[in-house]
Amino acid sequence: MGIELVKEKYSGGINTVEIGKAGRGPVKIGGETTLPFLFEEGQMPHPPIAGLEVFDCEPVDWPEPLKKAWGDSLKDPVKWAQRCVSEFGAKILCVRMQSIHPDWGGRPSDEAVATLKAMAQAVKVPLVVLGCGDDDKDNEALPKASQALKGENCLFGIATQDNYKTLTATCLADGHSIIADSPIDINIAKQLNILISDMGFDPKRIAMHPTTASLGYGMEYVYSIMERARLAAFIGDKMLSMPLALFVGQEAWKVKEAKELGEKQGVNWETATSVAMLQAGADLLVVRHPETARLVTKYIDMIMRKR
């Protein structure tokens, strides 16, 4: 007698968030009705995506392996964005408006938005747009960025429990989706989703960032939070049913094991972290090395090939 697989059946599912529009993608993320890649138990209608990250200025603090991979294009954000798409086939691009950060020269927001617009015009893929992480500068620049890209259906970030109102209001007005960020804390993740939707924002336009941690630096905590959120969503918790976005490049390339032991080791570190996050339920990964993007995309293609 054969052994029968025990299969879980869930009543709930993950929301589908569309990013981009006709002529700029669009891509869809989310929609799962099963834990990752368990095709016997449910559906994963939209494969996860690995997008590439670009700055709106030269990323002077990036480690050598990344600088080597991108070369001179790091000095020209528009060219850099174009290479991501034309040379490395990125299906989604994440633009970080780092130039406005006070520690990075504090470029006036209008200038930064002009660069962002030029980058957006140079590529035809859906965009994730991030601020610099300084609340005051972000609250000044992101509404202008949002308006400049009105109707492009971008995914804007990052909303936090202490700073979500400005970004939520502006995304609501300009028709963008939003990334809600929580510090490896499922209670805050759920609370922030409620706070954002209480402003009249459609919960089906929210993606969650549960915090990213690199391999060797607390990744398993993030993994467990993601898994818990997923299981809650599957039994019907609508305030945790959002797709998950992870900024793997930003974290993996911070750690010495990735940046100090050669390009191959760094790419492996970023790839291993990415794959673990896919297994935890990530829908959107943002990576920094083009080879990582290629490897992770290959992995996704392979694992999505159903039996």
Smallest distance from other proteins to CB 69, Å: 40
Placement of tokens 């939003």 in the chain: 178
Q: Is 134 in the site for other proteins (CB under 8 A)?
A: no
Q: Is 194 in the site for other proteins (CB under 8 A)?
A: yes
Smallest distance from other proteins to CB 234, Å: 12
Please count the residues of the chain: 307
Residues 186 and 202: their CA atoms lie apart, in Å, by 20
Q: Is 43 exposed, middle or buried (0-12, 13-18, 19+ CB in 10 A)?
A: exposed
Residues 131 and 123: their CA atoms lie apart, in Å, by 20
Q: Is 12 exposed, middle or buried (0-12, 13-18, 19+ CB in 10 A)?
A: middle
Pick 140 or 185: Cβ nearer other proteins: 185
Q: Is 188 in the site for other proteins (CB under 8 A)?
A: yes
Q: Is 236 in the site for other proteins (CB under 8 A)?
A: yes
Please name which of 91, 80, 74, 99 lies closest in space to residue 28, comparing C-alpha atoms.
91
HSE of 208 in the Cβ direction (CA atoms, 13 Å)? 34
Pick 119 or 226: Cβ nearer other proteins: 226
Q: Is 199 in the site for other proteins (CB under 8 A)?
A: no
**Pairing state of beta strands 93-96 and 127-130?**
parallel
Q: Is 240 in the site for other proteins (CB under 8 A)?
A: yes
Q: Is 209 in the site for other proteins (CB under 8 A)?
A: no
Pick 111 or 202: Cβ nearer other proteins: 202
**From 82, 139, 166, 191, residue interacting with other proteins (rule: CB under 8 A):** 191
**From 148, 169, 186, 303, residue interacting with other proteins (rule: CB under 8 A):** 186
Pick 140 or 237: Cβ nearer other proteins: 237
CA 76 to chain centroid, in Å, comes to 22
Q: Is 228 in the site for other proteins (CB under 8 A)?
A: yes
Q: Is 225 in the site for other proteins (CB under 8 A)?
A: no
